[in-house]
Amino acid sequence: MTLVGSSAAAQASHDTDPIEWRIGDQLVEYGAAVAEMEARVAAIRAGEAAELCWLLEHPPLYTAGTSARMQDLLAPDRLPVFKTGRGGQYTYHGPGQRIGYVMLDLQRRGPDLRRYIWRLEEWVIQTIARFGIKGERRQGRIGIWVVKPSGAEAKIGAIGVRVRRWVTYHGVAVNLAPDLANFAGIVPCGIRDAGVTSLADLGVRASMSNLDAALIETFEQIFESPRAFRRSKAR
């Protein structure tokens, strides 16, 4: 295992520490999720908790990242709007969209934020590839893109991160089968000339548990994480 900017001692410690996986089976309110992430980030930095990957869904809402512009909120009364500290602009969260909140210690893994974001993108790309979908990066556009059979470009996965003292939080959103009509209330990620799609929209009939299995299996390959995982009780 190669970790950029990490000492041998830190690498040895990292190799033996399991990552906790938490898989939610109920909708989690956005504000509660942010509060729990912030508490976990502090505990990881203090050495009091393991790194965590949390897979969940939110009730329908729009979130405004640190670069959000008011003119991109097209229907302010359609859904609740939550201002958040993650990077990026407006996005939609709701049932049928798998959120992956990733809390990793980059001080041990290598304090390279650009590399971390590349790995988040690659995580989504390799995950959806298991369902026969080719995900791609686009210069100047955050997230994961696909070319639909019509030839139109559409976004299938969003990326939004925050780092506190080199511990990451927030993460990715993968559209399994959300209500795509709700994206009409915003300009997703500030991009006006491209649409949004999902696995279901592209003809893939997969369950959330199918997607979770793919996310977990690809994670280790992308992040070079320990082989020992432990799962907490779903919530």
Edge-to-edge strand ranges of the sheet holding 81-83: 81-83, 61-64, 90-93
Q: Is 189 a catalytic residue?
A: yes
Q: Residue 46 has which token pair? A: 């203090």
Residue with tokens 């996986």: 21
Q: Residue 132 has which token pair? A: 């026969």
Catalytic residue among 189, 191, 208, 215: 189
Residue 127 vs residues 146, 195, 217: alpha-carbon distances, Å = 13, 21, 8
CA atoms of 102 and 99, how far apart (whole Å): 10
Catalytic residues: 189
